[in-house]
Amino acid sequence: MPPVKFSVNGRAVELQASPDTPLVYALRNDLGLAGTRFGCGTGACGACTVLVDGNALQSCDTPLWAVEGRNVMTVEAWETDRILAIVRQAFIEEQAAQCGYCADGIMMSLAGLLSRNSAPTEPELTAVLDRHLCRCAAHMRILRAARRACNALQVAA
Ligand code: FES
Ligand code: FES
């Protein structure tokens, strides 16, 4: 079986794994990128969200064959990705998490949105957040962090 080749956070990787392996397992178990969380495993909670060629995807629901030759970005990219760093800082400043399990996936979705649209409307913001579950009910803090990230992006532009 040939290896699956793709890039993660700008680094080329080759994995000797079944092409049907969910991306979240490859990220966490083979590549040590534990910031991508495993929640429901059924594509329903958003905890495992990563960007694939800039689009938010649930990595529990994405087989490795689907990312062959593509660029995957995980939350660990905050050190090099300007927009993700701004989103992360906004989450810190708003203390936008209780347990934090949902936060990494939400930050990835927001980073994907803000990369395409630096000034989203409130409905656009809430539409992105709607795809994520937060069992700790930190929704209002998360929404404040999302707004803060938008404002910070405007100032930095
Ligand atoms: S773990 Fe992937 S959507 Fe819940
Ligand atoms: S902060 Fe705990 S699930 Fe969202």
Distance (Å) from CA 154 to ligand 1 centroid: 31
Residue 83: CB partners within 8 Å, gap ≥ 6? Answer: 111, 114, 115, 153
Query: pLDDT at position 94, please?
Result: 98
Distance (Å) from CA 145 to ligand 2 centroid: 14
Contact 124, 84 (CB under 8 A): no
Q: Which ligand is nearest to the CA of 138?
A: 2
Query: pLDDT at position 155, please?
Result: 83
pLDDT bucket at 154, cuts 50 / 70 / 90: confident
Domains of the chain, start order: 4-74 (3.10.20.30), 77-156 (1.10.150.120)
Residue 38 has pLDDT above 90, yes or no: yes
pLDDT bucket at 32, cuts 50 / 70 / 90: very high
Q: What is the mean pLDDT of the chain?
A: 96
Look at 29-38, 92-101, 147-156 and tell me which has the smallest mean pLDDT: 147-156
Q: Look at the pTM and tell me if it is higher than 0.75.
A: yes
Write out the DSSP string of the chain: -PPEEEEETTEEEEE-S-TTSBHHHIIIIIS--TTS--SSSSSSS-TTEEEETTEEEEGGG-BGGGGTT-EEE-GGGGGT-HHHHHHHHHHHHTT--SS-TTHHHHHHHHHHHHHH-SS--HHHHHHHHTT---TT--HHHHHHHHHHHHHHHHHH-
Residue 74 has pLDDT above 90, yes or no: yes
Residue 151's nearest CA partner among 93, 101, 112 is 93
Distance (Å) from CA 79 to ligand 1 centroid: 24
The b/e string for 94-113 (b: 16+ C-beta within 10 A; e otherwise) is bebbeeebbbbbbbbbbbbb
Query: pLDDT at position 156, please?
Result: 75
pLDDT bucket at 67, cuts 50 / 70 / 90: very high
Strand partners, 22: 63
Q: What is the mean pLDDT of residues 51-58?
A: 98
Q: Which ligand is nearest to the CA of 57?
A: 1
CA angle 92/29/59 to nearest 5° reads 65
Query: pLDDT at position 77, please?
Result: 98
Q: For 107-143, what is each residue's pLDDT tens digit?
A: 999 999 999 999 999 999 999 999 999 999 999 999 9
